[in-house]
């Protein structure tokens, strides 16, 4: 009887493991993600401090479960450790607020979530779980778990298979503008663009005199599609 119970428990465990793994079938594996991110950084100047050379990348499935996360450097400690959780939260955010018919990058949520706007304090609704952040180069990190966390600046994009939303991609490790640039290039390298095309949820930079609820401020050394956009606005009042 004990042997039968043991076999049944083992079978149940294997089935659960297989089911969890199957949930990630539609999104890139860690090796696919890293290859695409490395290719994305070589396309043209991504701007920021490191031009896309020091990045964390993460993908979640449609359920919001973490499926893979990597760094573009061989030594993970040479990418900001804090960017691991940010990349995972960006992936979660892009997936959480997109639909089959609406691709919404984290960059496009910036203005909505500022003080005085309609989604101010949204970030308090679903906090990141610190236990799902792995030490640089360490094991764990929340695979097949929902980490949560909401980020409202550039670097997170939803990913699609044809017309179907299958998850989110998050990139962090530089300015938010450079993060977005690498994220949209990586999604394109992986052929996971939304139905409207690679630029349907592209970052929209603030233009003096032109109001847009989708606007995102410029960053240090901001580039878009190989074209220099400008610099972060100078400090005012401090």
Task: Taking residues 226-230, report their average pLDDT.
Answer: 94
Please give the pLDDT value at position 211: 66
Q: Would residue 24 be called left, alpha or beta, if left means φ above 0 and alpha means ψ between -120 and 50 degrees? A: alpha
More confident site: 6 or 238: 238
Judging by beta carbons within 10 Å of its beta carbon (0-12, 13-18, 19+), is residue 10 exposed, middle or buried? exposed
Nearest Cα neighbor of 42 from 27, 55, 23, 25 is: 55
- Encode pLDDT of 183-206 as tens digits: 999 999 999 999 999 999 999 997
The answer on pLDDT for 43 being more than 90 is: yes
- Encode pLDDT of 79-89 as tens digits: 999 999 999 99
Give the model's confidence band at 12: pLDDT under 50 very low, under 70 low, under 90 confident, else very high. very low
Measured distance CA(170)–CA(88) in Å, rounded: 6
Orientation angle between helical segments 30-43 and 176-189, nearest 10 degrees: 110
DSSP H helices, the chain, are 2-22, 30-43, 82-96, 176-189
3-state SS string for 54-123: CCEEEEEECCCEEEEEEECCCCHHHCCCHHHHHHHHHHHHHHHCCECCECCCHHHHCHHHCCCCCCCCHH
Which residues, in sequence order, are CB contacts of 199 under 8 Å at separation 6+? 184
Please give the pLDDT value at position 209: 61
3-state secondary structure of 9: helix
Q: What is the four-CA torsion angle of 35, 150, 235, 178, rounded to 10 degrees?
A: 10
More confident site: 208 or 126: 126
What value does the mean pLDDT of the chain take?
A: 88
φ, ψ at 211 (rounded to 5°): -90, 135
Please give the pLDDT value at position 121: 86
3-state secondary structure of 124: helix
Contact by Cβ (8 Å): 130, 179: no
Q: Which range, of 138-142, 176-180, 181-185, averages the lowest pLDDT?
A: 138-142
Q: List the chain domain ranges.
A: 25-228
Please give the pLDDT value at position 132: 86
Beta strands across the sheet bearing 164-172:
66-71, 56-61, 164-172, 156-161
Please give the pLDDT value at position 128: 87
Give the model's confidence band at 167: pLDDT under 50 very low, under 70 low, under 90 confident, else very high. very high
More confident site: 157 or 137: 157
Task: Taking residues 209-227, report their average pLDDT.
Answer: 89
Q: Report the DSSP beta bridge partners of residue 215.
A: 204
Q: Which range, of 13-22, 128-137, 152-161, 226-235, averages the lowest pLDDT?
A: 13-22
Give the model's confidence band at 2: pLDDT under 50 very low, under 70 low, under 90 confident, else very high. very low
Contact by Cβ (8 Å): 194, 202: no
Structural domain 25-228, CATH architecture: 2-Layer Sandwich (3.30)
Please give the pLDDT value at position 138: 64
């Amino acid at each position: 009887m004990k042997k039968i119970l043991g076999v049944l428990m083992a079978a149940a465990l294997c089935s659960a493991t297989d089911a969890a793994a199957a949930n990630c079938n539609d999104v890139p594996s860690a090796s696919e993600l890293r290859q695409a991110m490395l290719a994305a950084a070589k396309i043209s100047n991504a701007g920021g401090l490191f031009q896309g050379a020091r990045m964390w990348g993460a993908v979640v499935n449609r359920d919001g479960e973490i499926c893979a996360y990597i760094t573009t450097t061989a030594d993970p400690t040479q990418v900001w450790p804090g960017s691991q959780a940010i990349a995972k939260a960006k992936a979660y955010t892009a997936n959480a607020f997109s639909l089959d018919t609406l691709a919404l990058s984290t960059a496009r949520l910036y203005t909505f979530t500022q003080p005085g706007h309609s989604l101010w304090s949204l970030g308090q609704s679903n906090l990141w779980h610190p236990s799902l952040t792995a030490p640089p180069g360490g094991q764990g990190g929340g695979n097949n778990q929902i980490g949560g966390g909401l980020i409202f600046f550039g670097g997170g994009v939803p990913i699609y298979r044809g017309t179907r939303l299958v998850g989110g991609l998050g990139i962090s490790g530089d300015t938010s503008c450079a993060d977005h640039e690498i994220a949209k290039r990586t999604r394109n390298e992986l052929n996971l663009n939304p139905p409207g095309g690679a630029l349907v949820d592209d970052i929209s930079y603030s233009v003096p005199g032109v109001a847009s609820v989708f606007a995102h401020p410029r960053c240090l050394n901001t580039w878009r599609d190989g074209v220099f956009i400008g610099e972060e606005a100078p400090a005012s009042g401090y």
